[in-house]
Structure 1
């Protein structure tokens, strides 16, 4: 069963923000399951408890809606990171919490992963059209740069590591657990339960990142 980002809490009439939220949630599920080409506006409208006419009214066409959903999911994960208030934590604690929370986020939002996989299959055709996504995701590096600068000042982290590389490392480890879970588990059977695998791989992500940062 799909687990889209944020189910809507209210479905009142004359609530354009609520309607847009329902459309985003429905579209994310549809695009993650069928890709841009296979997704249907009729299905999105039905799941959002509205009409195709209203979807078109708000988003014009399927491609525009798809790009809006891409912007939405990146905004969501960046907001999640900002809400962690990592600047208030010592740098070593901050990096551990960032890795753990990033891992948990990916596990809890598999449709986000599927959507990004679909976009990569299209060679980033649509994400490259959005200056907003590029500007938005700079916050992920800014957040890391602050943690790294504080850690380097205390001689906790290697002076040579960059925020770009640390972000790639964390993202790779978190992404792989969700994106490759079916093939990896089929090829390399594990006796661990899903919960045990999550805990084990989350710990691996923390260990790999902290060892990469070590002086």
Structure 2
């Protein structure tokens, strides 16, 4: 007699995977405008940084176009990031979880997520990138105005302007490294880019990387509609 292991009513049911909304549409648009400005500023800035890189101005129709485009895009970047900052600064404030996360940096690099503490929406690495970008962009806009001779020719003395040029270049170089790190981390952590393209992540991704955030969302929806 053939032995049966299932009871009546048992079946394999295919259901859609759980998805979690991480970023709303206007936040994603805001992010990509900021990223686009960063790329334009990176290319035009490198073109002015060293004569060997001046050929990059060809991407924008020549040196004259790059010269007026760079500061204008810098202003757009500042405004765009400021709007992004208003949306995210509270969630990027440091807390005790960040200290515990930092202590497990070797586990982070090795991908041993099970050894990490439960986290809110952002980890210490993401918060560091956020505040580094915020501080760097403020310095860039201030020094940028100081060296923008076309519109502000007498705002500072020539010696001060020379210092501002050096500071502007050094901080810009630092932001380039932070930007590259941000992009690399987004690619390295599978499923992260989806958050800024579709606005959602899978339930598994949220549980693995930001469990405390997921628990809060689940608890909030259990008590009523999500805000």
TM over 0.5, shorter chain: no
Which is greater in Rg?
2
Q: Place the TM-score, normalised by the shorter chain, in its bin.
A: under 0.3
Q: TM-score, normalised by structure 1?
A: 0.27
Structure with greater helix percent: 1
Q: Higher relative contact order at CA 8 Å, sep ≥6: structure 1 or structure 2?
A: 2
